[in-house]
Amino acid sequence: MTKLEQKINQLKALFIEMDRALIAYSGGVDSTLVAKIAFDILGDRALAITAESPSLLPEELADAKVQAATIGIAHEVVQTNEMSNPNYTANPINRCYFCKSELHDTLKPLALARGYPYVVDGVNADDLHDYRPGIQAAKERGARSPLAEVGASKMEVRQMSQILGLPWWDKPAQPCLSSRFPYGEEITVAKLQRVGRAEIYLRKLGFNNLRVRSEGDTAKIELPPDKIQEFVLTVDLPAVVAAFQNLGFIYVTLDLEGYRSGKLNQVLTANLVASSKS
């Protein structure tokens, strides 16, 4: 038995132990794998819930619905209201804590009312080594993270998804739209919609694994390094600028370093280094 097969069996054993579970389901690769295994083991004793808010692209919600239907798991959508919390919209470095607090404060009572003793999420082992204050909020509310519990990395999640025949195994990561803003810049619904529509525009041009970072009136396009030259040589750049300006941006730039997950967190590392030297 391979290491991946062992981890799949460990995940199955966890859900056998739980007997009933509600899955915090975003439609990303991680939570989709969790939903798949939960349904395979629990059937109608598993329920996937997706939180709808301005920080979720409508296309991502549509994908989540299609994926859940393909898996066969029962799926529902609930509204969350993190935008009403000034601790969230002020965009402090622990913004994700308030987002996940809102999510799990919504899911936990729903799970208990429906007879689900466990709320589980898609946090994987790699997430534990990144700056993810939302993980603490979930833990404080009793959520479990099966992928992290069995030590499954992001790469292993994709490999297990492929083994189980999930066609979305290589789907690009798509964190909430609030992650596109530098810490300290206020988040508004209009800003979220603007950056979301900008990313959709670029995806329609054939570039999927990307980010549009938003800083004030400036849009900063991040593409994988090996796609930058293709973008510059093949895309109608004035048309891109015009499209972004129609969305409300004034300046449109291309990040020459390229896309890197968690790039905006580098300011935290820089501040820690500066503090240690002072």
3-state secondary structure of 78: strand
Return the pLDDT at 263: 65
Q: Residue 265: pLDDT above 80?
A: no
pLDDT in tens, 37-65: 999 999 999 999 999 999 998 889 999 99
Q: The pTM is what?
A: 0.90
Which of 139, 138, 132 has its CA nearest to residue 175?
132
Return the pLDDT at 57: 86
Could you give the domains of the chain? 3-163 (3.40.50.620), 177-265 (3.30.300)
- The single-letter DSSP state of residue 221 is E
Percent of the chain with pLDDT over 70: 94
Within 8 A by CB and 6+ apart from 258, the residues are 222, 223, 224, 225, 227, 228
Which of 145, 161, 149 has its CA nearest to residue 36?
161
